[in-house]
Structure 1
Amino acid sequence: MTDDPTADRAAETAGGSPGGPADGTAAAKPAEPTCPVCKEIVYPGYVFCENCGHKLGDPPPAGPDDPGAAPREGATIRQSSASLARRRAAGAARPCPECGGAEIDADGYCERCGMRQPAERDHVEIGLPAAGGPAGPDANGSGVLAAAGASDRGKRYSRNEDALALTAHAAGVVAVVSDGVGSSQRPDEASRAAADTAAAELAELLDEGRDPEEATRAAALKAAAAVAALAASPAEAPSCTYVSAVTRGGALTVGWVGDSRAYWLAAEQGGTAGSGAEETRPDATRPDGIGPDDTEPTTGDTEPNTGDMAELGASRQLTEDDSWAAIMVAQGALTEAEAEAHPNAHVITAWLGADAGEVRPHVATFRPTGPGTLLVCSDGLWNYFPAPADLAALLGGPGGAPADGTGEAGAEGAPEGAPAAGERPDPAADPLGAARTLVRHALDAGGRDNITVAVIPFPSPPVPPRTHTESTEQHR
């Protein structure tokens, strides 16, 4: 879930100095009433808690289980092409886990007891098997994976408005993450349409031999059209952010609109690409200032020409946010720390939707100089771990925190509070474990937003021929 993009227009008109806090910050005030069962904030006039379905005014049930886990019970999805249809058929007749009632309303609440039903998008896990690995409904979490991802609704919101799609193309992997704009209409539908549309289009174009940058730009625009088509009117326009990542040959290509991000986490320790904001962002060698020059004509060769691409050595952020904070820093009006502390920090300046105006995707291609991990995520993760070093410290392998597992301040590459070595899976060996770990740390840090991450080891292991697109699609 992402902040209201229209707030940025007001901020620009007012000179970037709005007088109040950003939308949603009031939820942290301790004076707000909370549900006695799950402790989520409730509002005057509510009869049931929107988060757990408890009837407000009734005492909590005796001996409750962990309230944070209850809404997700039975809702962890390990997706495959065969299991999606089977889950949909089973879900249509699934009774309420609280009272056994069969009448579930259109919003997902039991009409007998008011309990919010677990949704398929509450927690989703996807594994993309490598060539020679297992396939089918039991593929996830076993065998060798070429890539993996996880998405969770977090602790604050009653639904997951992020979406994740992961698929293979003839020579690599495609990942798309989209984050619904919470103030828009049906943001969950917007993010799902964007992720699924773009992933399918990217795989198809790359299988045809199209240049990765050309395919990335075309897929983003097709996703934008799909999201815009959901709108009944510009005043009721579902909207979302967007980021995609493609691996092919010795290169990787990212595309984005909004503030969802892509990172490169190098397998070899050596710090990050500088501490300044400008040094950790895409190379300013193209006319638009983002990424390497892509103005030369494409050839459609199976393998991209990596000769003039920006080299990736140390860990770094590959995308630059379309946000108020990024503009303030670029203009020199605020330091990065000041901008991030401002209430408007995460107000976005570009998005997908019928009210977005002309969509101009950013596209950049890089050539890694060694192995590492391509990570694509929503702001539910990077809000807590914004720097590449923060993310790398949560993971194992050569590029993670030091093997001694101390997690103490002062250890190179391991900030204070970094997890012990046994808790840090190596993304190259266990991308699904890495995705789960990153989501868990975001939940432990507060989980105030939906959290989505895709983990792609690089170089990618071979993948079997594409038969479908893995996504967070749910039965509606």
Structure 2
Amino acid sequence: MSQLPQPPQLTVCPACDEPLEPADNFCGRCGADLSALPPARDGAGPVAARLRPEHGGPEEGDYRLAAPGPAGRTDPAARPATGPHPGPAGPGRAPGHDTVPDPRATDAPAGVPAGVPAQAHGGPTAAPGSGPACPGTGRTCGACRAGMIDKDGYCEHCGHAQPRERDHMEHESAGVAAVSDRGLRHHRNEDAYAVSTTAQGDGGTAVIAVVSDGVSSATRPDEASAAAVLAARETLMTALPLGTPPREATHEAILRAAEAVAALAAPGHRPREHDQHRQENAPACTIVSAVVTGDLLTVGWIGDSRAYWVPDDRATQPARLTEDDSWAAQMVAAGLMSEAEAYADERAHAITGWLGADAYEIEPHTASFHPDRPGVVVVCTDGLWNYAESAEQMAAVVPPDARSRPLECARHLLGHALDGGGHDNVTVAILPFPTPSEGAGSA
């Protein structure tokens, strides 16, 4: 489907000259509503407004929606990139970036799956150290310590955007650990994860990890990813104790996740291919899951979030367990490009499969494996694998003690992505195989 011409995009805020990205609705520095501000005239304001091309380059590391096939649809994908803000540096974050919640606070609120923000459940959203109650959010600014935070998350005194609960999240429990971080270029974290351990129908234990990446060119991508992991986790937690085979449970979990994301669309929303003049995409995301049950590993996915197998014995070949639903993967599969050529193309991250009301069709991919030796499963978004694309590259950055220290492994991989530039949100879950309770005595 051809794309309608789009209006030119501002590259700087007309009010304060902060650099902007095509999808910005608000300025990350002064909080100005860009839809309400007229473009600056030549010579007017701090700096005259300039125009940027409609599409960003591949270094922006984000999603674009694409119809199946080489002639697929591609939408702008860049997300807002705010400038440095005062405040102490967070874990793996350069000095000057927003503060983040204490990474040691890994416990999710009661009844909330790890990795799912409390606001998705109507829970508290205040960051640690929040100030006294007041109109708006009831929080004081973490930068100037004087102003109050308005309902949009900006300080009414100095205008700084405030850290969100999802800026940095961590979880560790028996058999699984996960970390999610906003990265260094985005104004918010649009990834989500849910990790759990549950009983199987045969009396064994199932370890579950679900990771989702919101599609940035769609509306409310952060809500889409949260809805997807919640629905998938709930389905797996219900089906596996009843004795449902893991692959069947995974297939059903992805379908339920797709329904949850589609339900976020505005009432009366029609799929975009039926309305070429619609200027708004429905919420959308990708999804990938891994379930470890005894000696069986089951993965499921739609989109280009991935799962990798990394054995403890690095002399053994690692493997990528998923195949992307993306333009690049289609080019390689059709023999039209080499893998290196395809992933170097600016269209590489145009996805051909996703969850949401605008999805062409939902076709969950599932696969099961019987690893014959100890190792770890790495489940991640492209915010990580952009910096370790092949199975060999991923294995090279996974620490040798990953199976015994999964949280430290997840943190290490996050650091690798941030050191590489942190262009995207980064989410990674690590599942030791076999699980600790079943792996006693394993080398």
Name the TM-score, length of structure 1 as normaliser.
0.66
1:200-349 to 2 correspondence within 5 Å? 200-232=234-266, 233-234=269-270, 235-272=280-317, 315-349=318-352
Equivalent residue in structure 2 for 1:120, among 159, 162, 165:
165
Equivalent residue in structure 2 for 1:178, among 212, 227, 230:
212
Amino acid at match of 1:451: V
Amino acid at match of 1:156: R
| d(CA) in 1 for partners of 2:252, 2:169 | 27
The 8 Å contact of residues 5 and 347 in structure 1, kept in 2 or not, is answered as yes
Q: 1:215 to 1:51 in 2, by over 3 A?
A: farther
1:283-432 to 2 correspondence within 5 Å? 315-397=318-400, 426-432=401-407
| d(CA) in 1 for partners of 2:336, 2:109 | 53
Task: For residue 71 of structure 1, report the CA deviation from its aligned partner.
Answer: 3.7
Unaligned runs of 5+ in 2: 1-60, 113-117, 131-136, 200-204, 271-279, 439-443
Task: For residue 154 of structure 1, report the CA deviation from its aligned partner.
Answer: 0.8
Task: For residue 13 of structure 1, report the CA deviation from its aligned partner.
Answer: 5.6
| d(CA) in 1 for partners of 2:209, 2:72 | 36
The 8 Å contact of residues 168 and 180 in structure 2, kept in 1 or not, is answered as yes
Q: 1:51 to 1:222 in 2, by over 3 A?
A: farther
1:155 aligns with 2:214: no
The 8 Å contact of residues 71 and 118 in structure 1, kept in 2 or not, is answered as no
| d(CA) in 1 for partners of 2:155, 2:69 | 40
The 8 Å contact of residues 292 and 435 in structure 2, kept in 1 or not, is answered as yes
| d(CA) in 1 for partners of 2:138, 2:96 | 20
Q: 1:201 to 1:102 in 2, by over 3 A?
A: farther
Q: What are the Cα deviations for residues 257-284 of structure 1, in whole angstroms up to 9, with x where unaligned?
A: 0000000001112242xxxxxxxxxxxx
1:107 aligns with 2:152: yes
Q: Which residue of 2 aligns with 1:453?
A: 428
Task: For residue 100 of structure 1, report the CA deviation from its aligned partner.
Answer: 2.6
The 8 Å contact of residues 172 and 178 in structure 2, kept in 1 or not, is answered as yes
The 8 Å contact of residues 76 and 125 in structure 1, kept in 2 or not, is answered as no
Task: For residue 225 of structure 1, report the CA deviation from its aligned partner.
Answer: 0.4
1:3 aligns with 2:63: yes
SS in 1 for 2:336: coil
Task: For residue 199 of structure 1, report the CA deviation from its aligned partner.
Answer: 1.1
Task: For residue 79 of structure 1, report the CA deviation from its aligned partner.
Answer: 2.8
Task: For residue 217 of structure 1, report the CA deviation from its aligned partner.
Answer: 0.6
User: Which one scores higher on RCO, CA 8 angstroms, separation ≥ 6?
Assistant: 1
Task: For residue 80 of structure 1, report the CA deviation from its aligned partner.
Answer: 1.9
Q: 1:334 to 1:249 in 2, by over 3 A?
A: same
Q: 1:240 to 1:24 in 2, by over 3 A?
A: closer
Q: 1:369 to 1:448 in 2, by over 3 A?
A: same
Q: Which residue of 2 aligns with 1:470?
A: none
Q: Which residue of 1 aligns with 2:276?
A: none
| d(CA) in 2 for partners of 1:383, 1:341 | 11
Amino acid at match of 2:416: H
| d(CA) in 2 for partners of 1:219, 1:434 | 27
SS in 2 for 1:240: strand
Q: 1:395 to 1:118 in 2, by over 3 A?
A: same
1:190 aligns with 2:224: yes
The 8 Å contact of residues 218 and 282 in structure 2, kept in 1 or not, is answered as yes
Q: 1:427 to 1:328 in 2, by over 3 A?
A: same
Q: 1:334 to 1:432 in 2, by over 3 A?
A: same
Amino acid at match of 1:79: T
SS in 1 for 2:341: helix
| d(CA) in 2 for partners of 1:259, 1:3 | 9
Q: What are the Cα deviations for residues 384-442 of structure 1, in whole angstroms up to 9, with x where unaligned?
A: 10112212222332xxxxxxxxxxxxxxxxxxxxxxxxxxxx11111000000000010
Name the TM-score, length of structure 2 as normaliser.
0.71
1:199 aligns with 2:233: yes
The 8 Å contact of residues 53 and 114 in structure 1, kept in 2 or not, is answered as no
Task: For residue 231 of structure 1, report the CA deviation from its aligned partner.
Answer: 0.5
The 8 Å contact of residues 289 and 301 in structure 2, kept in 1 or not, is answered as yes
Q: What are the Cα deviations for residues 60-100 of structure 1, in whole angstroms up to 9, with x where unaligned?
A: xxxx8668344442424433245777964665643211223
Equivalent residue in structure 2 for 1:12, among 71, 88, 105:
71
| d(CA) in 2 for partners of 1:363, 1:9 | 19
Report which stretch shifted further, 182-191 or 73-82.
73-82
| d(CA) in 2 for partners of 1:459, 1:9 | 37
SS in 2 for 1:241: strand
The 8 Å contact of residues 71 and 117 in structure 1, kept in 2 or not, is answered as no
Q: Which residue of 1 aligns with 2:101?
A: 75
Amino acid at match of 1:5: L
Amino acid at match of 2:101: A
| d(CA) in 2 for partners of 1:10, 1:252 | 31
Task: For residue 459 of structure 1, report the CA deviation from its aligned partner.
Answer: 0.3
SS in 2 for 1:79: coil
SS in 2 for 1:356: coil
Unaligned runs of 5+ in 1: 28-39, 42-49, 55-63, 131-145, 273-314, 398-425, 464-476
Task: For residue 11 of structure 1, report the CA deviation from its aligned partner.
Answer: 4.8
Amino acid at match of 2:289: S
| d(CA) in 2 for partners of 1:13, 1:241 | 17
Amino acid at match of 1:258: G
| d(CA) in 2 for partners of 1:10, 1:330 | 11
Amino acid at match of 1:161: E
The 8 Å contact of residues 76 and 122 in structure 1, kept in 2 or not, is answered as no
The 8 Å contact of residues 213 and 287 in structure 2, kept in 1 or not, is answered as yes
Task: State the superposition RMSD in angstroms.
Answer: 2.6
Task: For residue 378 of structure 1, report the CA deviation from its aligned partner.
Answer: 0.1
| d(CA) in 2 for partners of 1:245, 1:13 | 29
1:139-150 to 2 correspondence within 5 Å? 146-150=175-179
SS in 2 for 1:393: helix
Q: Which residue of 2 aligns with 1:95?
A: 140
Q: Which residue of 2 aligns with 1:169?
A: 198
